[in-house]
Amino acid sequence: MSTTVVFMQVSHKLTAPHNPALEYYKQVYAKCRGYHMPEHFMEIPTWIAVISGMLPSDRYEKVLHVVTDVSETVEWANLLPHGAIIMMSVMDVNRKIVHALLQQVRRKFVLGGYVDPAQFEQYHKAVWLDSVYDVHHAMPTSVEQHGDPDYSLFNRMSVIPRLKLSEGCLFNCAFCTIERKITMVEWPDVLSQLRALRQLNFELVYLDDKTFGQADNWAWLKPISKRIKAFNPQFRGFIVQTTVPMMLKHFEEWVYEQDVAYIEVGVEHVDADYLGRMRKPYNLKNLMNLCREVRRFNRRGTDVEVGFIPNIMFALPDADYTSTIEWVERNVDIITFVNPFILCQYESSKGSLVESAEGAHDRDENAMVKSWLTDDEVYASGVAMSQIMNLTR
């Protein structure tokens, strides 16, 4: 008899109902070829594919359930077979919903994610995993520890799947939680990720690497692109994320030789002093040079262009957004769209932009209200975010 495993994902319609960035992304994605946003999440939760790939189908019946209404989910989950296991990834934005489900659903839960697990110790029905690769500890029968990721629960969904060539980043930005160590993914694991992508409908692949170009295996993109095109002729290229100097140094080579189509860049806040406070690894001269080079490249009259997507940060303490807005205005012709981020302060942040962060929303990436901002600063930050989104939609 097989065990029912429910991968439960909370819809962003519940976790971010008032986040204006969602509407913005819907509009800008519609203008960019290859960009797709599924109805309930920005992108496919990779953890589901990874764990699903470890659970043999002859022993586990796998189900995807999206939470759009907590009461309806409680009712549905309490009708699951008694041995069913519910898996969830817990983040600050959904943890209250996870608590509500744990209090009302009479089934076993397996949890993991980016919050303090101590808050779930009170629930005897819940098991906490520090890594997806520990899932065998929580399952009644054996698992395939090295199975390919399995996207069958998202079969033929139009998405932008992720591919990982490395973990970590050597830089030390104050607000960031990424480990300061680079670990490269081995080639057989890359092939395993590629095999899994056959189940999806996609034109672009998002590179999970935090600062593309740091790990020595970045040149694997070319052979990876060839392999993807062999089973997916629609494939247009990669989206990578990197720093201003790294993009300045490599982007022509990446676009021409590695099939990079879009580059996300951590601009954050266009102010020399504030960049120092954030410990960002670039200066304003680098940024000016990058804009000039992207403009020159995209205007040279060929079909090959690079998409330029700056990350911009809001809810910053003591910040004035005038120079950032002016920078966006001056460069709107080369900006594909922006990624607006709201500052959060976590225990694992590499530094601290704020003296204390004990507010109810300080770790909520969808809430502009933060304990380090006055009401006027919350308002000013919201206005700046709207202005920048309006300039670039």
Binding-site ranges for ligand SF4 (CB under 6 A) = 169, 171-173, 176, 178, 210-211, 243, 266, 281
CA 225 → CA 35, 194, 217, 336, distances in Å? Answer: 17, 10, 14, 23
**Nearer Cβ to ligand SF4 (34/281):** 281
**Nearer Cβ to ligand SF4 (110/265):** 265
CA 273 → CA 245, 279, 356, distances in Å? Answer: 18, 10, 21
Report the nearest approach of ligand SF4 to the CB of residue 171 (Å): 4
**300: how many CB neighbours lie within 10 A of its CB?**
9
**Nearer Cβ to ligand SF4 (64/178):** 178
Report the nearest approach of ligand SF4 to the CB of residue 243 (Å): 5
**11: how many CB neighbours lie within 10 A of its CB?**
18
- Residue pair 298/305 in contact (Cβ under 8 Å)? The answer is yes
Which of helix, strand or coil describes residue 75? helix
Strand order in the sheet with 126-128: 60-67, 3-10, 85-90, 108-113, 126-128
Report the nearest approach of ligand SF4 to the CB of residue 241 (Å): 7
**Nearer Cβ to ligand SF4 (149/281):** 281
Which of helix, strand or coil describes residue 67? strand
Residue 392: half-sphere exposure toward Cβ, Cα within 13 Å: 34
- Residue pair 110/135 in contact (Cβ under 8 Å)? The answer is yes
**Nearer Cβ to ligand SF4 (102/315):** 315
Report the nearest approach of ligand SF4 to the CB of residue 250 (Å): 15
Report the nearest approach of ligand SF4 to the CB of residue 269 (Å): 12
**Nearer Cβ to ligand SF4 (349/392):** 349
Report the nearest approach of ligand SF4 to the CB of residue 116 (Å): 21
